[in-house]
Amino acid sequence: MAFAAAFFYLFSAVAVAAAVMVIVSRNPVHSVLFLILTFFNAAGLFVLLGAEFLAMILVVVYVGAVAVLFLFVVMMLDIDFAELRAGILNYAPVGATIGLILLVELALVYSGWVLSPEAIEGITAPAEGDAGLTNTEALGQLLYTRYIYFFQMAGLVLLVAMIGAIVLTLRHKPGVRRQDIAAQVARTPETAIEVKQVKPGQGI
Amino acid sequence: MRNILTIADAAAALPEIALVTAAMALLMVGVFRSKPATDLVTSLSLFVLAATAALVMFSSSGTVDAFNGAFVVDTFARVMKVMVLFGSAITVTMSVHFMKLERIERFEYPILILLATAGMMAMISANDLIALYMGLELQSLSLYVLAAINRDSARSSEAGLKYFVLGAISSGMLLYGCSLIYGFTGVTSFAGIADTLKQGEAGIGLIFGLVFLIAGLAFKVSAVPFHMWTPDVYEGSPTPVTAFFAAAPKIAAIALFVRAMVTPFSSIASDWQQVIVFISIASMVLGAFAAIGQSNIKRLLAYSSIGHMGYALVGLAAGSAEGVRGVVIYMAIYLITTLGTFAFVLAMRRQTGALEEISDLSGLAQNNKMLAFILAMLMFSLAGIPPLAGFFGKYFVFLAAIKADLIWLAVIGVVSSVVSAYYYLNIIRVMYFEEPVDNFDSMPTELRMIIGASGIFVIVFVALAGPVIDVARAAANSLF
């Protein structure tokens, strides 16, 4: 138990520190890298909670896709982050207010647990399932049986999103040279080389 | 071992599964065919829509629950699905010519319509808050892309972006409502919500959620006060896409609206009825007055469709089987009249390109008597003048409202329909009494046939009203 607690404090401390660094670091690339570090530590927290599926999804989706996309955007677009950051202190009161509200909400939730200990039992009702299943298996068994319809519909929505992105953005430019490996391999010395008789002193 | 997909579930959703599988197959055809595949994919998708309609009608009977109650197939669903499939098929047909002339023909266009149609069918059959949202998103996402499909035109892109941003906000409201309803009842299925509500009194939290749900749905049917996107999106999108927006998605959204109110919330009907009454009055009045100043025919039809959604909601406000029967009849007539009118807008074209102004219609009656006559009939029908089809649509919803003691709602409806007659009649005045300008280019056969069929429908509806009313009654009774 103490071991788990130690890891909890490790992951949370690093996550909070990395989150702070996301905001304050000067170089936007560093910000994104700190964001990835935050995600990894949040995934560690999920593992401690026994939600290994969520942990892996967090790494795969947020680190693997979202954060890398951020990184691409940050590196490829010419954005002057110093300029964007110029007025950041003006927004400090708004940010502080939001932080304060979140803090109050957290305090309310926590005091709810303290005042009525039975309330916490209501939120920790695990989904029914066979004992000894990992939660990936348990989710899979529900998702592909009871919720098969919703799952398939979600798949269709994603298909439409993909078709839509291609319809609206893909342009076939004429005259673009593409690599044609078959044509390259099929070249013979006869088609590739032309022998010219060059008279001395004249050039081609 | 639990089954992944039971045979019974698959059989209930057979039309949807067939439609979606065919859409993906057509996508492959379009991608891997070396020659331009637009024509092939378009004709195949028409065939797919027809086959799906046949499956909807004949593959099941009675009321079938599937996927643990998330999906329901009943007579109401079958009738609305056939209407949606019909609307989509006609829109695909009348798009072909326009898309070619505007050089925006792409094989993805019919495929996106197929996928949007699958989303609409899922909406119509939704019997669960999650199923409702998934169907709605599948439909909306396809529509956002369709609105922007003419990507080189700033107006089309603007329409797509506007629709997307506002649609996302409305989806957010809808989800917020759904989460509140789930939070206060503990279930997402409509049947479960109905059970919970029967046991005890609805709390203020649930009503709050219900209002947000209605707000989200009202956006999808473009009812006032969530209508602001409609004129801009209708005007900016390519005309065949506008025709599609005005036809099939409206049917699906109204069907979803009806089911989402009537099935889970029947025991607190008085709570949602007052909201529907307000939305309905606001839509009718705004539709009547705001359209008067329009000079662009697509904007005019946008306001007209806002008004028509108001009339359809009068039937829902009644909250009875009779009211829902009125809604089904109203939507059937609205669908066919709207398709005919948009086919006409698509036919407005001269050498210079597509025309969208009402003034372009000047003196049409002297150039093309038949076309002007049919458009006049369609306009009379939209205005609700007897004995044309539109009159009967309004008659049945107002009748239901009067029987439900909502007499003043019916009175406001009649008054606003008289006001709206002004701008419909104005179009007829421009056609018959203004100096003629050049004739339109001759139109392709399919448009001619759609305009003609729609004109004949509104004129002879009196004769074939009986069967339509029977079907609508059967559909409405399956909900109650």
Angle at CA of residue A171, ends A165 and A175, nearest 5°: 155
Q: Is B25 on the interface with A (CB under 8 A)?
A: no
Query: In this structure, what token pair is assigned to residue A159?
Result: 């298909």
A146 lies in some domain: yes
What average pLDDT score do residues B24-37 get? Answer: 90
Contact residues, chain B, for A166 at CB < 8 Å: 108
Q: In angstroms, what separates the C-alpha of B295 from chain A's closest C-alpha?
A: 30
**Cα nearest neighbour of A169 on chain B:** B151
Which stretches within B263-404 are classed as H helix? Answer: 269-290, 297-318, 321-347, 364-367, 369-383, 389-403
Q: Is B151 on the interface with A (CB under 8 A)?
A: yes
**Do A136 and A35 belong to one domain?**
no
Q: What total of structural domains would you count in chain A?
A: 2
Q: What is the pLDDT of residues A62-84, one digit of tens each?
A: 888 888 888 888 888 777 767 77
Considering only the beta carbons, identify the residue of A154, A159, A161 that sits closest to B134: A154
What average pLDDT score do residues A159-170 get? Answer: 93
**Do A18 and A93 belong to one domain?**
yes
pLDDT of B271 above 50: yes
Contact residues, chain A, for B148 at CB < 8 Å: 168
pLDDT of A59 above 90: yes
What average pLDDT score do residues B385-405 get? Answer: 92
Lowest mean pLDDT among B8-12, B378-382, B404-408: B8-12
- What spatial distance separates the first Cα and last Cα of chain B, rounded to whole Å? 37
Contact residues, chain A, for B27 at CB < 8 Å: 163
**Do A90 and A144 belong to one domain?**
no
Please report the pLDDT score of residue A129 as a whole number: 55
Q: What is the pLDDT of residues B71-124, one digit of tens each?
A: 999 999 999 999 999 999 999 999 999 999 888 888 999 999 999 999 999 999
Contact residues, chain B, for A150 at CB < 8 Å: 70, 130-131, 134
**Do A140 and A50 belong to one domain?**
no
Note whether A163 contacts B4, CB cutoff 8 Å.
no
What average pLDDT score do residues B218-222 get? Answer: 93
CA distance B65 to B335: 28
Q: What is the pLDDT of residues B115-156, one digit of tens each?
A: 999 999 999 999 999 999 999 999 999 999 999 999 899 999
pLDDT of B44 above 70: yes
ipTM at complex level: 0.93
Q: What is the dihedral of CA B406, B407, B411, B414, to 10 degrees?
A: 70
Average pLDDT, chain B: 92
**Do A146 and A109 belong to one domain?**
no
**Cβ contact A42:A15 at 8 Å:** yes
What average pLDDT score do residues A45-67 get? Answer: 89
Contact residues, chain A, for B145 at CB < 8 Å: 160, 163-164, 167-168
Please report the pLDDT score of residue B1 as a whole number: 44
Q: In angstroms, what separates the C-alpha of B233 from chain A's closest C-alpha?
A: 17
Query: In this structure, what token pair is assigned to residue A36?
Result: 């990835």
Q: Is B164 on the interface with A (CB under 8 A)?
A: no
Tally the residues of chain A: 204
Q: Hey, what amino acid is at A149? A: Y
The CATH number for A57's domain is 1.20.120.1200
**Do A111 and A14 belong to one domain?**
yes
Contacts (Cβ under 8 Å, ≥6 apart) of B280: B223, B310, B311, B313, B314, B316, B317, B409, B413
Provide the domain limits for residue A139.
Answer: 131-168
pLDDT of A118 above 80: no
**Do A160 and A91 belong to one domain?**
no
- Helix or strand holding residue A143 (H, E): helix A135-143
DSSP notation for B73-115? E-HHHHHHHHHHHHHHHHHHHHHHHHHHHTT---THHHHHHHH
Q: In angstroms, what separates the C-alpha of B359 from chain A's closest C-alpha?
A: 33
pLDDT of B255 above 50: yes
Residue B203, helix vs strand vs coil: coil
A197 lies in some domain: no
**Cα nearest neighbour of A151 on chain B:** B134
**Cβ contact B402:B480 at 8 Å:** no
**Do A45 and A73 belong to one domain?**
yes
**Do A98 and A25 belong to one domain?**
yes
**Do A51 and A136 belong to one domain?**
no
Contact residues, chain A, for B2 at CB < 8 Å: 141, 145
Q: In angstroms, what separates the C-alpha of A163 from chain B's closest C-alpha?
A: 8
pLDDT of B338 above 60: yes
**Do A35 and A71 belong to one domain?**
yes
pLDDT of A102 above 70: yes
pLDDT band with cut points at 50, 70 and 90 for residue B368: confident
**Cα nearest neighbour of B150 on chain A:** A168
Please report the pLDDT score of residue B4 as a whole number: 67
Q: What global pTM score does this model have?
A: 0.89
